[in-house]
Amino acid sequence: MAKPLEYNATLKERIDLTDALSIFRIEPDQPPTRPWFVPGQYCVLGANNLEKPELGSVRRSMSIASAPEDEGPTEFYIRWVAKPESENPFTHLLWKIKAGDRMYMRPVAAGVFTIKDTIGLEDTRLRVMVAAGTGSAPFVSMVRSELNRNPKADLSKWVLLHGASYPADLGYREELMRLSETNGLKYWGTVSRPKEAPGWTGDVGRVESFFDAARLPDLEKRLGLPPGGFTPQNVVIYICGLTGTITGTVIPLIDRAFIPDFKRIREALGVPADAKDSVFYEQYDTEPVINVKDPSVVEPLRERMQAALARL
Ligand SMILES: Cc1cc2nc3c(=O)[nH]c(=O)nc-3n(C[C@H](O)[C@H](O)[C@H](O)COP(=O)(O)OP(=O)(O)OC[C@H]3O[C@@H](n4cnc5c(N)ncnc54)[C@H](O)[C@@H]3O)c2cc1C
């Protein structure tokens, strides 16, 4: 049992988008000197189980959705997990916390899922951000930060593809649509249960289906790329969320020679050591993205990667 956490922060505000999706704005007692994180990083939130003290406390990593330059509380976009794995799920404790209540927030950020730590700030390629559910949080932080530093920033190299079951689950949609109009952000939301969303006129299907071979030409057109131009020469991919989204994006993009930033996958697919990574991901669960130990999985993918690299 994890020992009780000493609370050091206050939940200032929560915005419940649905029963299971909320934005939390949390303020540590001792606000760190800004900027204390880089867009794309996460920090650790925690709570004690007050109803069942015998279960102790729990801490979980959460991507930061606010920008480093923002004044006031730090923002997080969190889903209540319906089928947790642990006996003391954090999200179930968090959902009982109201504005004004105390909680734990480690005011130290971590993670290398940042532009700086991956392709570098000067890289001019399109940055295609793929998110399902709350996986959009780090990308929201990134575009907000661009705007904070320059309200007239040209966001046309930022592409955000956001998937959810229903339109109401597409958090931050209004803000992102506004940025499409004012700053050229390329943003498309897609819903996987359109039959239950009458009136929805946007894209349908899971977010990773944008990368199906049959749909890639449409994405190329939307992005102003020539046919066949969706390649690592022009595009870099960032994915955030659960394994299904990551695997579903990584695998079709093997045929376009996109190289995942994960040593064991690179090795399994026979990627030359000097080839640069072009797919970066932040994974919210622990399932393997590709089962590199299973030859029946790896061999066909390896062949596809070798063929794609040879076409370059
Ligand atoms: C670096 C990092 C950043 C993260 N950032 C966020 C974030 O910004 N927002 C957020 O909601 N979660 C985020 N998570 C997931 C979070 O840390 C917890 O795993 C999640 O909140 C479930 O914790 P729990 O204790 O309630 O459930 P647990 O008992 O720990 O159950 C874990 C299981 O919950 C499921 N799960 C985890 N995250 C999600 C999710 N977002 N949506 C649906 N199912 C999920 C998975 O199947 C996982 O195996 C992040 C995880 C990591 C590693």
Residues 196 and 305 in one domain: yes
Ligand 1 centre to CA of 75 (Å) is 16
Q: Does residue 20 belong to any structural domain of this protein?
A: yes
CA of 90 to the centre of ligand 1 (A): 9
Give the tens place of pLDDT for each residue, 232-244: 999 999 999 999 9
Q: What is the number of domains present in the chain?
A: 2
Per-residue confidence band for 177, with pLDDT thresholds at 50, 70 and 90:
very high
Residues 219/230, Cβ–Cβ less than 8 Å: yes
- What local confidence, expressed as pLDDT, does residue 218 receive? 98
Q: Are residues 266 and 161 in the same domain?
A: yes
Asked if residue 151 and residue 57 are part of one domain, the reply reads no
Same domain, 138 and 233: yes
86 pLDDT band (50/70/90 cuts)? very high
Residue of minimum CA distance from atom 3 in ligand 1? 62
Residue 2: pLDDT over 90: no
The residue whose C-alpha atom lies closest to atom 11 belonging to ligand 1 is 78
Q: Which of 25, 45, 55, 284 to mutate to test the pocket of ligand 1 (most atoms within 8 A of CB)?
A: 284
Q: What is the pLDDT of residue 144?
A: 98
Q: Residue 2: inside a domain, yes or no?
A: no
Looking at this protein, which amino acid is placed at residue 195? K
Q: What is the pLDDT of residue 1?
A: 73
**Residue 91 in domain:** yes
pLDDT digits (tens, 9 = 90+) for 64-85: 999 999 999 999 999 999 999 9
The pLDDT of residue 31:
86
Please give the number of the atom of ligand 1 that sits closest to the Cα of 78: 11
What is the rounded average pLDDT of the residues 158-176?
Answer: 97
**Looking at the predicted structure, is the pLDDT value of residue 114 above 80?**
yes
pLDDT tens readout for residues 11-59: 999 999 999 999 999 999 998 888 999 999 999 999 999 999 999 999 9
Give the position of tokens 């640069």.
276
Do 100 and 133 lie in a common domain? Answer: no
| Percent of the chain with pLDDT strictly greater than 70 | 100
Which residue type occupies 286?
T
Which ligand 1 atom is at minimum distance from the Cα of 111?
1
Q: 63 and 27 share a domain?
A: yes
Q: Is residue 195 part of a domain?
A: yes
Same domain, 85 and 148: no
- 190 within domain boundaries: yes
Mean pLDDT (the chain, rounded): 97
Percent of the chain with pLDDT over 90: 96
Nearest Cα residue to atom 24 of ligand 1: 89
Ligand 1 centroid from CA 236, angstroms: 25
Residue 16: its pLDDT value, please? 98
Hey, whose CA ends up nearest to atom 47 of ligand 1? 285
> Long-range CB contacts (< 8 A, 24+ apart) of 289-295?
289/243, 289/246, 289/247, 289/250, 289/260, 289/262, 289/265, 290/247, 290/250, 290/251, 290/265, 292/264, 292/265, 292/267, 292/268
Residues with CB under 6 A from ligand 1: 42, 58, 60-63, 76-79, 81, 84-86, 89-91, 111, 133-134, 137, 242, 282, 284-285
Burial of 284 (0-12, 13-18, 19+ CB in 10 A): buried
Parent domain of 14 = 9-105
Whether 102 shows a pLDDT value over 80: the answer reads yes
Query: What CATH number does the domain containing 63 carry?
Result: 2.40.30.10
Ligand 1 atom 45 nearest Cα:
81
234/135 same-domain check: yes
Output the domain CATH number for residue 298.
Answer: 3.40.50.80
Domain contains 184? yes
Residue located nearest, by CA, to atom 9 of ligand 1 = 78
Distance of CA 79 from the midpoint of ligand 1 (Å): 8
Same domain, 150 and 239: yes
pLDDT for the residue numbered 108: 95
